[in-house]
Amino acid sequence: MPGSDTSVAEVTHVSRHGFWLLLDGQELLVPFADFPWFRDATIAQITTVEWPTADHLHWPLLDVDLSVASIRNPAAFPLVSRANSELENTA
Residue-level pLDDT, tens digit, the chain, 91 residues: 455 555 789 999 999 999 999 999 999 999 999 999 999 999 999 999 999 999 999 999 999 999 999 999 988 888 655 555 454 455 5
Question: Which pLDDT score, from 0 to 100, does residue 6 have?
Answer: 57
Taking the model in full, what pTM does it have? 0.77
- Type of residue at 58: H
As assigned by CATH, the class of the 9-90 domain is: alpha beta
Question: Which pLDDT score, from 0 to 100, does residue 4 have?
Answer: 52
Cα(91)–Cα(78) distance, rounded to whole angstroms?
Answer: 23
Question: Which pLDDT score, from 0 to 100, does residue 26 have?
Answer: 94
Total count of residues recorded for the chain: 91
Give the residue extent of every domain in the chain. Answer: 9-90
DSSP 46: H
